[in-house]
Structure 1
Amino acid sequence: MYFSTTAATFALFSLFTVSLAQTFTSCNPMNSTTCPADTALGVANYTIDFTQSMMTDTVWNATAGSVTYGDDGADFTINVRGDAPTVQTNFYIFFGQVEVWLKTAKGQGIVSSIVLESDDLDEVDWEWIGGNDSYVQTNYFGKGNTTSFDRAAWYPVDDPQGGFHNYTVDWTAEKLEWFIDGQSIRVLNYSDANGGKNFPQTPCNVRLGIWAGGDPANANGTIEWAGGETNYNDSPYTMTVKKVRVTDASRGTEYVYGDETGSYTSIKVLNDTTPIKLDGEDSTSAAKTIKQKWNGLPQTTKYIIIGVVGGVLLIVASVFAFCCIRQRRAGKHERLIEDAKYEKNAAEVLAYRADMTKMRFDKSKGPSVHVSPIIGNGGAAFQNYGQTQPMMGGMRSPAPQYGHGHNVNPFGGARGYQKF
């Protein structure tokens, strides 16, 4: 059951939402007959799980900002003012289904969205306001027509910011139906959209994005619709998309507008080109982050890789430890050599200083005196008086009576100084 509002409130919301929706086209087939053909999905089903694969440039076009990948999937994040990460598929579907498993962003003035958009501005919307954790707005447009104000409707959803929900649109030529977790919440019949004139009915691509409707530069009505002015100091604000599944009811590789009416009956389905190379579960060479590649490996392969990497790390650690020990020993040996050199140099310096001191001392005392090794202490007395001792080659000391005894010989004699 959807959330009832007054007609005036619906009108106000719808009016503001016109400026909020991701409504732009590079060439409008209702205004030109030279618009290029739209690339079709080319297969019945396309599925990508962003916990296991990344978007590729072949399938997705980042029209603003960039997407990062975490454990829960693709993250669309507003970090600073001006951020508005948005992507759209390079393929179109001509009726079909779009399922998105999504967790919306928190934050006053922050808008999370899923949009189906055609070249002539047919549009189907899901929009969540960051300051409202209880409702989602569904909306649609036909050829960009904003003359009526009865399109938007709000429906309750359980904690869209805290958990993932499956938001699905089932689109046929007869009706549009919105689902939350498999439960139908709204049906729009072809005839109920201004007799079909405002019913979305031309090939659409799929767009995912987040933006700050509450940016201070926006119009007051936009800020009010978005729930108030955004405070960028509270960032980051993140919308996370876990998985996307798209089916195409047609089986072509290109869609061409046959005239400028914008009617689904004018669309030509062609098969003259090669189908787009898909990623995700529909590709054998899906782009993955390193973590996604690791998570996708069989457990046995993981054990083998861990063992190999562990063995390599152990070898590297062992080599490193050996080199460190060897270097340490070499360093210790070099230190010992250097210490020995230092001690030798220090000893030589000390010896040199001793020699220099002796030389200075000898010079200050006059001529040097030669002391006979045979005379011993007796010769030293002459040195004290400045006399020289003649060489006496092998002469023994004279008898004790010739000198003055200073020491008593323990064997009964006395030694004295030789006297002349």
Structure 2
Amino acid sequence: PVVIGDEGIRVQVLVSPPDDSGRRAFTVHFEVGDTWTRHASGVLGDDVSVPGAGELTVWPPEGAAVLPTDGLYERLSASGYGYGEAFRGLRAAWRRGDEVFAEVALPDGVEPQGFGIHPALLDAALHVNAADADGQGQMLPFVWSGVSLHAVGATTLRVRVTSAEPEGVSLEIADTQGAPVATVGALVSRPVDAQALTSPKADTDSLYRVEWAPISTSEAPATHAWIDELASLVDTEVPHVLMSPSGTAPATVTNDVLATLQTWLADNRGDSSVLVLVTRGAVATEAGETVTDLAGAAARGLVRSAQVEHPGRFMLLDLDGSETEDLVAGALATGEPELAVRGGQVSAPRLARPADALVLPDEPWRLEVTASGTVDGINPVPNPQAAVSLGVGEVRVGVRAAGVNFRDVLISLGMYPGQALVG
């Protein structure tokens, strides 16, 4: 693996043994943290032919009309293509019939060493399409095929772009003497919703969260049995409802519940038996509700883990005192793995987009603690520095979601030692 950048991101190319034709399949993987993700795949092979060799020796191309490039990158920036200085390499462009030509170069201070062809130079070779575009909207490269590298070390290139069936373009790339540097048999691009990428709105890009939604209970309530301990099992075909003790230390309750789950699973009465753990006030089903049974909350977490390992064997039911025997029976008949009763209504957790999702500013922003004492005090505020044009060697990353650690929570609550409180 090759390490890229100071953040320890590793890149690995896996190449398979050659097939009967000598071609090798390959995949490109990135590792961030401990996770490897495949980002590209393709086929490698030898090809001694050089399409278009010698066609770029006459420069500028004879009979070609000049295409205007003044202000190109400013126009592209306004359209959502944010090219930094290192990637603004298009120097001139021409059109001749169905052919488009370009001259591209690396900016001063950017060296090609370490690359077969510098990424900024190859990317600039595609900008001639933007200079020649006619209302196509934003397009991003999607599939490359027939890519060959014939020479390395170039800092200035001549490019010829032609149509390639059914929906792509082909590229012939040469150095300043017209000698072949690279060829692309076909490059297919796809349209992209620029607004969705650069300015995600709450109604289309917000994170899901858990909300408790009312559900209908069965009209034919399930038969069930209340038990005080597993020794009182009466029938494996009905749910057995076990009340979690309240007013007991969380460690004691979770140890007892763990032993109960293990005994239940070890019982030889079959996989049709269901154990229901009942708590009171061990989960908050709406904003502002207080959890009053911490031991029950810990036990619920343990049972949820057991539900993942043994689907259908455990249920969770949290009560508030408004329940009736028939309501509990109807709730158990739903088969939902997790339920709560509030004000005589049964509800279950569902993933939903929040109605009060955070709305991000249209301008560049950053997160700041604007008020201490609650995580609601973390808010996006304008960040003029983010609008500054990128320099050589700089990149801009758009973050859609990020995790927090315990220190972040303490800072947002104004509880971190030595932290200056926000007024």
Same fold, judged at TM 0.5 (above)? no
Normalised to the residue count of structure 2, the TM-score between the two structures is 0.21
The structure showing larger relative contact order (alpha-carbon pairs under 8 Å, at least 6 residues apart) is 1
| Structure of higher CA gyration radius | 1
